[in-house]
Structure 1
Amino acid sequence: MTVIRHAESRRTETPNAVMTTLASPTQGGSAQAVWRVDMGPGQVGPPHVIDAEQVWTVLDGGATVDLGGEKLTVGPGDTLVIPADVPRRLGSDPVTGFAAIVVAPASMRAYVVDDTRVSAHCAVPDGDKLLPAWVV
């Protein structure tokens, strides 16, 4: 059993959110990546696709999710299961922002949608796909 202390969590800041890695291959030797997402009020992430299923559980605030053209809203206590290879874009509530815990296979990769690149400063290149820094 591995215990990952709070002080050992890794923080990655992008222009749209802060991801705090709670477990990953390099943090606890986990095959699953677990991280917290914090978005300030009115923040909107880039359109992108992930090649693996993700499970998001909302802790605080709310978000609007464009998932494959369908608009969804989520709030505290809601869990969103996002299938692999479906374009998505998340935006936080304009007043409360958004916080969630996310779980996905550590092998997941992000890739381009509509010619919009996933920010290179927050990911590790892997061919045409990117490994987000908070998943490493």
Structure 2
Amino acid sequence: MTVIRQDQTRRFETPAGVMTTLGSPTLGGATRPIWRVEMLAGSAGPVHTIDAEQIWTVLSGGAEVRVDGAEVRIGTGDTLVLAPDVERQLTADAETGLTAIVTSPAGSTATAAGNRVQPPWAA
């Protein structure tokens, strides 16, 4: 059993929000990374793809999600399952922002504007 204390979590700030690693292969030896996403009201993530399935559960607030040209609104308590390799963009609710828990397989990579990276919060 591994316990990861709050002061051991890793925090990453991006233009779109704050990602906090709660557990991952390099934080607690978890086989599947899990992180919290906090986006300020009205902020938008980049248009990007992920090469693996992602699961988002909204803890508070909401977002408009554009996936392969279709749009869906998610709110508190909703869970969004995103298939791999689909273009997506999340925009936090203009009034409430967004706080969510996200997971995807270890080693998954993101591609935005032609650049492929492994997000550090999932490592």
Query: So what's the TM-score if we normalise by structure 2?
Result: 0.97
Equivalents in 2 of 1:67, 1:99: separation in Å?
19
Identical counterparts, % of pairs = 51
Structure 1 residue 107: Cα displacement: 1.4
- Does residue 135 of structure 1 match 2:122? yes
Give the Cα separation in 2 of the matches to 1:60 and 1:48. Answer: 23
Match of 1:81 in 2: 81
Aligned residues: 123
Runs of 4+ in 1 over 4 A off after TM superposition: none
| TM-aligned CA deviation for residue 36 of structure 1 | 0.2
Q: Quick one: distance in 1 between partners of 2:58 and 2:22?
A: 16
Structure 1 distance, partners of 2:64, 2:43, is 11
CA–CA distance in structure 2, aligned partners of residues 111 and 22 of structure 1: 23
* Structure 2: runs of 5+ lacking an equivalent: none
Where does residue 51 of structure 2 map in the other structure? 51
Give CA-to-partner distance per residue, 1:32-85, whole Å, 9 cap, x none: 110000000000010000000000000000100001111010000000000000
Q: Which amino acid aligns with 1:48?
A: H
Give the Cα–Cα distance (whole angstroms) in 2 for the partners of residues 75 and 21 of structure 1: 22
Q: 2: distance between equivalents of 1:109 and 1:30? A: 17
Q: What is the correspondence of 1:24-103 to structure 2 with a 5 Å cutoff?
A: 24-103=24-103
Alpha-carbon distance in structure 2 between the residues aligned to 1:15 and 1:86: 22
Q: TM-score, normalised by structure 1?
A: 0.88
Shift of 1:31: 1.5
The unaligned stretches of length 5 or more in structure 1 are 118-127
Q: Please provide the CA RMSD for this pair.
A: 1.0
**1: CA distance, partners of 2:103 / 2:119:** 13
Quick one: which amino acid aligns to residue 131 of structure 1? Q
Letter in 2 for 1:65: V
